Amino acid sequence: MNRVRCRLSVSRRLVLAIVAVPALLAGCAGQPPPARNVNLSGYSAAFREGYLDGCDSARAARRRDERRYQQDADYMMGWNDGRSACSKSK
């Protein structure tokens, strides 16, 4: 009787592992590496802020400080680079 319970217990664990592990891994599959997590330490604050806003714009609703985009070349370049990089990683 104990052997039957032991076998069932092992079988249930095996089935659970066979079903659960691929299901957990499938949750991570297909998700591109985030282009938002790049090293921007050598760039100006305006470029970094523009890059993050551009990246957010590529993934969701447009986010851009229009005044800065028109008047600040660093912000504009950062925004364009961020949007481009994050659009490719979708």
Average pLDDT over residues 3-25: 59
Give tens-digit pLDDT for 25-50: 555 544 444 555 788 889 999 999 99
Q: How many residues are listed for the chain in this entry?
A: 90
**Cβ neighbours for 35, distance < 8 A, ≥ 6 positions apart:** 55, 82, 85, 86, 88, 89
| Residue with tokens 């249930």, as numbered in its chain | 12
Least confident segment among 7-11, 38-42, 53-57:
7-11
Span 78-87, mean pLDDT? 92
